[in-house]
Chain A
Amino acid sequence: MSKRTSSLLLTSLLLLSLLLAACAPAAGPVDAGEQSSLSQDADDNIPVVTYTYARVPQPDQQMVEDALNDIIIPEIGVKLKLEPIDPGVYNDKMQLRLASGEACDIIFTAPWINSYANNVANGVLYSLDELLPQYAPGLWNSMPETTWEAARVQGHIYGVINQQIFPKPWGVHVRTDLLQKYNFSLDDVAQWEDMEPFLAAVAEGEGITPVLGDNLWRSQYWGYDPLDDGIAAIGMAAADTTLTVVNFLETDEFKKAAEITKRWYDNGWLPLETLPRDESQAMFRAGQFAMGYHVEKPGNDVESKNAYGWDFTIKNLTDPLIIDTAGTTATLNAICASSPHPEAAMQILELFNTNAQVYNTLARGVEGVHWVWEDEANKVMRFPDGVTADTSTYNPNGDWMFGNQFNAYYRDPAQVGAWEATKLMNDTAFPSEALGFVVDRTPIETEVAQVTAVWKEQVEPIMNGWVAWDDAAPDAMAKLEEAGINRIIDEVESQLQAWKASKE
């Protein structure tokens, strides 16, 4: 063997081993994961449907999945596989997955995470028009046609609306112990400003920042339908029969919200900067805040206690309640266009929404392990003895994500009747003149991108009370116009008129 050949041989061997080393670890697990999650189950030869949603994976995930399949497989002959993804990365992961064309079955989608509108525009969702009445009659009949309208995009329904609170009762949840200590009653509180004497007293007496929050601009509180959560800068007065689209920054209500926020901020009643969620939650638990504001739906006192560990008194400050498209479609479960078994997936969604046992197992875990009955007649459950929200091995804490929330068991005897009260809110809320209208962003994509950037940079500081409206608004207004807000307003307005005409 000549010297050159032998050296060549050695080199090739070296290269080969390098290549093998580089490839080996990457190839294995990817294949394995893909195989098991989709397509047929090898053992039983029944379809496997994967449900991908935005919750932190729980220690007892597998136990709950098995318990669910004990109910689901005999019922419809479909196997369910749960795939929770941490909410912090859910949006990025799902967008990447959908973009790469990786198959999925049921996914959680919403205007605010894993965007429903974007997913529809990208053609990754399966049209449910025929599947719904055929494979999920119970679910289909559980909501009136007008509600389903809200999920319709260009004539087709692509997502199953989770029945829950539809209007947004923006209000306050306040620590009960501090209300008593400072002898303050929420009965007379009708608007944000009415909280001020209490906030001043708490700031003075406790030496803490009283309010956990960023700003007081909540469009429904001020009587506006936001039309599209993805376009923060525009909306429409909910009662406006002429369907006139407005630039929020120019409205008196926005100015007022900004001024109250600035006053609260300047008084030291709001945090100095936006806090990371985990940090603010820990601070609230440690007693560094006295109140928060949120959608104060019936039963939110118990949910807030679950999150922050204090007893809360809640009060809705939004009057009248408005029901709009964004609120109705706030949480959706959709079926992927790439799903090999859309029918089976629809059957699963039927169970999520109509079978209380399936729903509660998914949302709360296994009876006797993760929860026990407190009062079975009234459907009240509690954690087993010695278990709390923190130590529970299955507490995804996201009832609103999985299906019809009115099937959820109550967590607290105090909550009994909350679902009836919520349903009443849904039925009596005043429907926005634009309920059922969905913005088609295709012709204004560029402007939306530009306006969103300006909104975040120029308008949010005004909204958050960091700068005075008078100082910053004129400049921001000019920037918004430069970014094309008027083209957005014109386009949305003409879409609204066309939509109205088509209804008549």
Chain B
Amino acid sequence: MTMQKNVTSSNGLLTKFFGSRRDMQTNLTLLSMALPGIVLLFIFAYLPMVGLLIAFKDYRFADGILGSAWVGFANFRFLFGTDTAWRITRNTLLMNCLFIVVNTAASLTIAVLLNEVFKSRMTKYYQTLLFFPYFISWVIASYFVFALLSAQGGILNQWLDALGVPPTAWYRSPQYWPAILTLANLWNGVGFGSIVYLAGILGIDPMLFEAAKMDGASKWQQVRYITMPMLLPLVIILTLLAIGRIFNADFGLFYFLPRDTPMLYPTTDVIDTFVYRSLVQLGDISMAAAAGFYQSVVGFAMVVTANWIVRRINADYSLY
């Protein structure tokens, strides 16, 4: 009894992380299975954090990270000197919000529809067709979009021309791009989302639907009073996960589809593309690191806030 007590107090910190010694012994197998994941997480997510120092240094390749001179917040000046920081933050947040809302709504609708035809032999084809774009790289997709929207010989402009509408220079009209990007993202992600929700629907106890039918509930009422409430936890978790990543824009989508056109930056420039451009065009690693650091800080705040709000509403649904 006394011995046990001693062990616990001397290993106070360890106990806090891994539970008591007995817990550790019991769960040794599970812990060892988690080990590779933890090691990889450490290598790829924690070790590189040393690089954050670059944001506060005048980084010279020859001097290395630790050898370069400290410059305080000088690298952040170019972010906040103009309205750049505001613009990329706004674009990242608004576009991602739009994506979350549109994709969730579309995925849910398609999942419900697919469920209705689930016994049909065509279901597999529908699913594959919807899922297929998920595997197409944005680089390839950017060529589809260019073929469609190119001012000279683009398919869309040819159609418009046939209808008597004057052609539009899509790649120079930033106002259309929120819609174009949302559609592209929907095309890419809706198959994946609908399959997740379809799985959720199939997990609902069929007795509920049978009972509802006996009571004379219409299809719409079944969806409204059974499917939706039963899917709600799944929707919330997926949305929360998406909100957690709301500060990380899909680089491929935002960089390749607008073809890195400066005139489209007002609506298509997001933090990720901005960081990339600072790095390759200005060649200034410190400024790029500063922008990346800003993204991390605000992104972290977003996750914490989102989780806090959810916990206030319903603690069971929060992530931690």
What residues make up the interface of A, taking CB atoms closer than 8 Å to B? 4, 7-8, 11-12, 15, 18-19, 91-92, 95, 98-99, 101, 115, 118, 121-124, 209, 271-274, 337, 445-446, 448-450, 452-454, 456-457, 460-461, 466, 479, 482-484
Contact = CB atoms under 8 A, between A and B. Distances in A.
Interface in B255-289: 261-263, 265-266, 278-285, 287
Interface stretch (B30-38, B117-125, B129-137): B30-38
B77 interface: yes
Given A11-B29, A272-B151, A446-B81, 5 more contacts: A4-B28, A98-B61, A445-B284, A448-B282, A449-B278
B176 interface: no
B13 interface: no
B278 A8 contact: no
Interface residues of B, number: 37
Interface of B: 28-29, 32-33, 35-36, 60-64, 74, 77-78, 81-82, 84, 150-152, 169, 171-172, 261-263, 265-266, 278-285, 287
Chain B, interface SS category: helix
A123 B84 contact: no
A8 B61 contact: no
Nearest to B33: A11
A479 B32 CA distance: 58
Contact of A12 (B32, B262, B279, B284): B32
Nearest to B151: A272
B284 A449 contact: yes
A209 B62 CA distance: 49
B206 to A, nearest CB: 38
A457 B174 CA distance: 11
A446 B74 contact: yes
Chain A, interface SS category: helix
Contacts of B78: 445-446, 449-450
A169 B120 CA distance: 71
A466 B263 contact: yes
A273 B172 contact: yes
10 contacts: A8-B29, A92-B280, A99-B61, A122-B60, A123-B60, A124-B61, A274-B261, A446-B81, A449-B284, A483-B82
Given A12-B32, A450-B81, A456 B62 contact: no
A457 B265 contact: yes
Contacts of B284: 118, 445, 449
Contact of A273 (B28, B150, B283): B150
B33 A273 contact: no
Greatest chain B CB density within 10 A among A4, A11, A461, A466 is at A11
Contacts of A91: 280
B29 A15 contact: no
B169 A15 contact: no
A123 B150 CA distance: 43
Contacts of A450: 78, 81-82, 84
A99 B77 contact: no
Contacts of B32: 8, 11-12, 15
Given A91-B280, A446-B77, A457-B263, A99 B285 contact: yes
A209 B279 CA distance: 36
A452 B172 contact: no
A264 B300 CA distance: 50
**Those 3 A-B pairs whose CB atoms lie nearest each other, nearest first:** A123-B62, A272-B151, A456-B262
Contacts of B151: 272-273
Contact of B283 (A95, A123, A274, A482): A95
Contacts, number: 92
Contacts of A452: 281-282
B271 to A, nearest CB: 14
A286 B133 CA distance: 33
A449 B172 contact: no
B172 A466 contact: yes
Contacts of B152: 209, 271-273
A309 B40 CA distance: 54
A89 to B, nearest CB: 10
A4 B29 contact: yes
Contacts of A273: 150-152, 169, 171-172
Given A8-B28, A449-B282, A461 B61 contact: no
Contacts of B29: 4, 7-8, 11
A121 B82 contact: no
A453 B60 contact: no
Contacts of A271: 152
A309 B77 CA distance: 49
A121 B262 CA distance: 27
A18 B60 CA distance: 38
A270 to B, nearest CB: 11
B262 A457 contact: yes
A101 B61 contact: yes
A272 B169 contact: yes
Contacts of B280: 91-92, 95
A466 B60 CA distance: 39
Nearest to B174: A457
Nearest to A95: B283
Contacts of A454: 82
A448 B84 CA distance: 14
Contacts of A123: 60-63
A457 B77 CA distance: 20
Nearest to B152: A272
Contacts of A457: 262-263, 265-266
Contacts of A461: 172, 263
Contacts of B64: 101
Contacts of A449: 78, 278, 282, 284, 287
A453 B263 CA distance: 11
Contacts of B263: 457, 460-461, 466
Nearest to B31: A11
A18 B160 CA distance: 55
Nearest to A125: B62
Contacts of B262: 456-457, 460
A4 B27 CA distance: 10
Contacts of A484: 81
Contact of A483 (B28, B33, B61, B81): B81
Contacts of A445: 78, 284, 287
A123 B81 CA distance: 28
B267 to A, nearest CB: 12
Nearest to A460: B262
Contacts of A446: 74, 77-78, 81, 287
A284 to B, nearest CB: 14
Contacts of B265: 457
A337 B63 CA distance: 12
Contacts of B84: 450, 453
B293 to A, nearest CB: 16
Contacts of A337: 62
A482 B61 CA distance: 31
A484 B80 CA distance: 13
A461 B172 CA distance: 9
A483 B79 CA distance: 11
Contacts of B279: 95
Contact of A15 (B33, B61, B82, B287): B33
Contacts of A95: 279-280, 283
Contacts of A121: 60
B36 A18 contact: yes
Contacts of A12: 32
Contacts of A118: 283-284
